[in-house]
């Protein structure tokens, strides 16, 4: 996709896309909760399948577009940078749920959440291993790590269905109370929201790229920060609505499940280009992957320890994650200056 949009038009399209993504993604929480209940998918399994795909439609489009154009640097930075950004959203959702006495990690502490975090760590480790392979090492038009990532993600979905913890009765009542949705309307809403997220998510990518070029922002840094942030708007809007409804499990399914799904797109990019993608990852991409692993492990520790109280509105794990993220930004800038 090679749309040429002027800088002035890009500003207006960017703002319009942000508003529409926010409004429609806000509706997504109610639709997903209804579908999970109506089709008896469960908040963990259903949330992972639906949210990880729908909210990441912009990343899918960006990856495919970059692969067809032969320019995967931006896509790789967006995918791996997006994982870090989306992980940091758990701090936002922890603060948004501050009326609860227990921190977010304790509220969602169950086998499903821990399993999703474990598989996410495994998948991100495979990403780091994939960087070490020779660029010409191809197997079935892909590389062993990329195929392993896809297989690991599929395995995680199968196991999640078996171990997911059903929401308690009070949560179930809260989900379905006062809804006007039907099976047909919920599916139509899901399709409509998916279309909006896809179209305006891609427009966000195009216009933000124009804006970044106008201000001479480094492409790799831009993909890992600004682009990763704007394409995370569906997760932000939907997650805040889940907090409002006090249904917290889908938040973890969206963040951990979505983060585990994103590296699967490397396989898609490799199949399109017939060229290994992971070995081309830059040092800053692997750096971000390592940060994402650390953040995931910290929240998993919070789930295992089940911390009883918050500190200044958020859990201790969220405070630790924020400190690591600030230090990681300083480190990322240092790496970028060193490689220039």
Task: For 58-114, write each residue's pLDDT tens digit.
Answer: 888 878 877 887 777 767 777 887 888 889 999 999 999 999 999 999 999 999 999
- Tens of pLDDT, residue by residue over 18-44, are 888 888 888 888 898 888 888 877 666
Give CA separation, 11 vs 4, 5, 58, 201, 215, in Å.
Answer: 13, 10, 18, 14, 13
Share of the chain above pLDDT 70, in %: 85
More confident residue, 207 or 205: 207
Q: Quick one: how far is CA 253 from the chain centroid?
A: 10
More confident residue, 177 or 218: 218
Total domains in the chain come to: 1
What pTM does this model have? 0.85
Q: Is residue 1 part of a domain?
A: no
- Tens of pLDDT, residue by residue over 256-300, are 999 999 999 998 888 888 877 888 788 888 898 999 999 999 999
Rounded average pLDDT over 119-133: 91
pLDDT of 190: 92
pLDDT tops 70 at residue 313: yes
CATH of the domain at 67: 1.20.1420.30
pLDDT of 191: 93
Q: Is residue 105 part of a domain?
A: yes
Q: Is residue 33 part of a domain?
A: yes
DSSP letter at 246?
T
Helix (H, G, I), strand (E, B) or coil at 279: helix
Contact (CB, 8 A) for 112 and 36: no
Q: Is residue 308 part of a domain?
A: yes
Q: Tell me the H-state helices in the chain.
A: 7-38, 43-54, 57-69, 73-96, 104-107, 111-131, 144-163, 169-176, 183-214, 219-224, 226-230, 233-244, 249-261, 265-273, 283-305, 316-339
What DSSP string runs through 126-138? HHHHHHTS-TT--
Contact (CB, 8 A) for 208 and 226: yes
pLDDT of 38: 84
**Token digits for 76?**
């790789």
**Token digits for 178?**
């006062």
Work out the pLDDT band at 169, boundaries 50, 70, 90: very low
Residue 281's domain comprises 7-167+176-339
What end-to-end distance do the CA atoms of the chain give, in Å? 28
pLDDT of 222: 66
């Amino acid at each position: 996709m090679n749309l040429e949009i002027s800088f002035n038009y890009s500003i207006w399209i960017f703002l319009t896309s942000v508003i529409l993504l926010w409004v429609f993604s806000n509706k997504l929480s109610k639709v997903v909760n209804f579908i999970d209940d109506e089709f008896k998918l469960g908040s963990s399994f259903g949330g992972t399948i639906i949210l990880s795909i729908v909210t990441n439609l912009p990343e899918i489009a960006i990856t495919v577009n970059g692969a067809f154009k032969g320019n995967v640097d931006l896509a790789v930075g967006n995918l791996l940078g997006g994982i870090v950004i989306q992980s940091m959203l758990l701090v936002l959702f922890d603060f948004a749920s501050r009326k609860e006495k227990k921190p977010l990690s304790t509220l969602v502490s169950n086998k499903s959440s821990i399993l999703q975090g474990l598989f996410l760590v495994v998948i991100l480790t495979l990403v780091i291993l994939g960087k070490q392979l020779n660029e010409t090492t191809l197997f079935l038009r892909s590389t062993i790590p990329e195929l392993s990532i896809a297989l690991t993600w599929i395995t995680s979905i199968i196991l999640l269905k078996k171990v997911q913890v059903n929401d308690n009765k009070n949560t179930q009542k809260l989900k379905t109370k006062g809804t006007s949705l039907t099976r047909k309307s919920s599916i139509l809403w899901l399709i409509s929201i998916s279309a909006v997220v896809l179209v305006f998510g891609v427009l966000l990518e195009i216009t933000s790229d124009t804006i970044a070029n106008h201000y001479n922002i480094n492409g790799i840094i831009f993909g890992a920060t600004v682009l990763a942030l704007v394409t995370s708007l569906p997760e932000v809007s939907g997650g805040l609505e889940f907090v409002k409804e006090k249904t917290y499990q889908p938040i973890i399914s969206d963040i951990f499940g979505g983060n585990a799904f994103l590296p699967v797109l490397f396989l898609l990019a490799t199949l399109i280009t017939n060229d290994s993608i992971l070995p081309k990852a830059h040092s800053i991409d692997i750096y971000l992957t390592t940060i994402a692993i650390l953040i995931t492990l910290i929240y998993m520790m919070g789930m295992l320890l089940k911390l009883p109280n918050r500190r200044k509105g958020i859990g201790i794990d969220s405070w630790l994650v924020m400190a690591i993220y600030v230090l990681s930004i300083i480190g990322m800038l240092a790496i970028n200056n060193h490689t220039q």
